Amino acid sequence: MANDEVLNRAGEVNELFRTIELTAETVTRPAGPRTPTVHSFLRHVRAKGLDCVPEPVSLDGETDTLRFIEGESGGDAWQHQHDEHGLRSAAHLLRRIHDASSDWVPPDFAVYAAPGVEDEDVFVHGDPGPWNFVWRDGQAVALIDWDFLHRAPRLSDVAYALQWFAPFRDDQAALDWHHFPEIPDRRARIEAFLDAYGTPADFDVADAVVQRIRYTSEHVRFLAAQGHEPQKTWVAEGSVETEERADIAWIEENRSLFGPCVVEG
């Protein structure tokens, strides 16, 4: 699959989820079966003093209304994570949210977009790429679009973020589609992200990202089986397997770019 197709997938998914109407203060979008669960989670995090997730305003039938968080996200987000300050701010914010999620008790009616891992102690975002952070003055100030909320190891979110923040993509993609001004030092960026998150690099980072890529493909198939688009189309056309093989092959051929990393615990 060409790099433009791969990197535009995140935008494709977000556009489907974000059939939204913006006002000066709110974001209104279609609600779904998972929306009450997400609202419960967001209220829990905010009640712990974190304003870095959206504030639920109302849930009226098929309409979900959230408080608008000022800043840049989506396609405008890429530039802010290029320097180490932006990178570290995203990792630190992700850690704060994970920590705040550890004592959330899901409601009895909880519905998730991904299978959970019951013995894990945190709930993860599931899609923490640069586009889903809100940025102000080069700093990540919020994490939005919680449609893929589910219980999982912290490393699931960390590895997914590293795939896009490092990035675990070829040089041309880093320049053309991630908009880096020059080829990034992936190893240094991985070390900075893990240091800011506060976890030692006592694991094979490339293996973790490969495992997360495989899980992402499984998740796409999970959603496709439930009839969700565009995932159903991706599976039908065979692009999920093609992308997975290409991404993993490139990582395996370029392991020297990613480690070993050394981050003190």
Residue extents of the structural domains in the chain = 3-12+71-257
Residue 201's pLDDT is 76
Q: Could you give the C-alpha distances from 125 to 24, 149, 157, in angstroms and in order? A: 26, 5, 7
Band the pLDDT of 51: cuts 50, 70, 90: very high
pLDDT tens digit sequence for 18-37: 455 655 689 999 999 999 99
When pLDDT is cut at 50, 70 and 90, the band that residue 265 belongs to is low
More confident: 225 or 3: 225
pLDDT of residue 2: 44
What confidence tens digit (pLDDT) does each residue in 172-190 have?
Answer: 999 999 999 999 999 999 9
Q: How far apart are CA 43 and CA 59, in angstroms?
A: 13
Average pLDDT over residues 113-117: 76
Per DSSP, the residues of the chain read --HHHHHHHHHHHHHHHT--EE-SSEEEEE--TTHHHHHHHHHHHHHTT--SSPPEEEEETTEEEEE---SB-GGGSGGGGSSHHHHHHHHHHHHHHHHHHTT----TT---SS---TT-S-EE-S---GGGEEEETTEEEEE---TT-EE--HHHHHHHHHHHHTT-S-HHHHHHTS--SS---HHHHHHHHHHHHT----S-HHHHHHHHHHHHHHHHHHHHHTT-TTHHHHHHHTHHHHHHHHHHHHHHHTGGGT-------
Question: Across the chain, which distance is largest between two alpha carbons, in Å?
Answer: 52
Report pTM: 0.88
pLDDT of residue 227: 85
Q: Which CATH number fits domain 3-12+71-257: 3.40.50.11390, 3.30.450.30, 3.90.1150.10, 1.10.510.10?
A: 1.10.510.10
